Amino acid sequence: MKSIMFIKADYGNLSKHFKAKEFQCKDENKYILICKELITILETIREHFNAPVKINSGYRTPSWNNKVNGAPNSYHCKGMAADIIVKGHSSQEVAKYANSIMEQGGIIKYTNFTHIDVREEKYRKGV
């Protein structure tokens, strides 16, 4: 079972390199859902590449997810997904490394970013 927190976006630090605000929905909702296991994976990626990880999209409210044509049952709405860019590294490099450390969860390689989620089953696209 995943550990998901319901917190204010101004909560502060979630880990060594990530703040809650980085995962805030683009609609500026004051609250977020965030999964502790996702933060652990992102920290591992950050440490491996020794480079900043930018969160393009973290938590999404259902209304924002609909506005951006997100998947109807998006893991972003559950606080279990992030679209990331690792400074100085391609989405292919990031996806390949994520695949090497994640037995479960979703990894989707896009041209300019990598989607990481901590779903229970294994899902890969473009990796």
Question: CA 34 to CA 14: how far, in whole Å?
Answer: 9
DSSP 19: B
Between the CA of residue 73 and those of 37, 60, 80, 81, what are the distances in Å? Answer: 19, 11, 11, 12
Label residues 20-39 b or e (16+ Cβ within 10 Å = b).
Answer: bbbbbbeeeeeebbbbebbb
Q: What is the pLDDT of residues 60-102, one digit of tens each?
A: 999 999 999 999 899 999 999 999 999 999 999 999 999 999 9
pLDDT score recorded for residue 2: 85
Q: What pLDDT shows up at residue 5?
A: 94
Residue type, 57: S
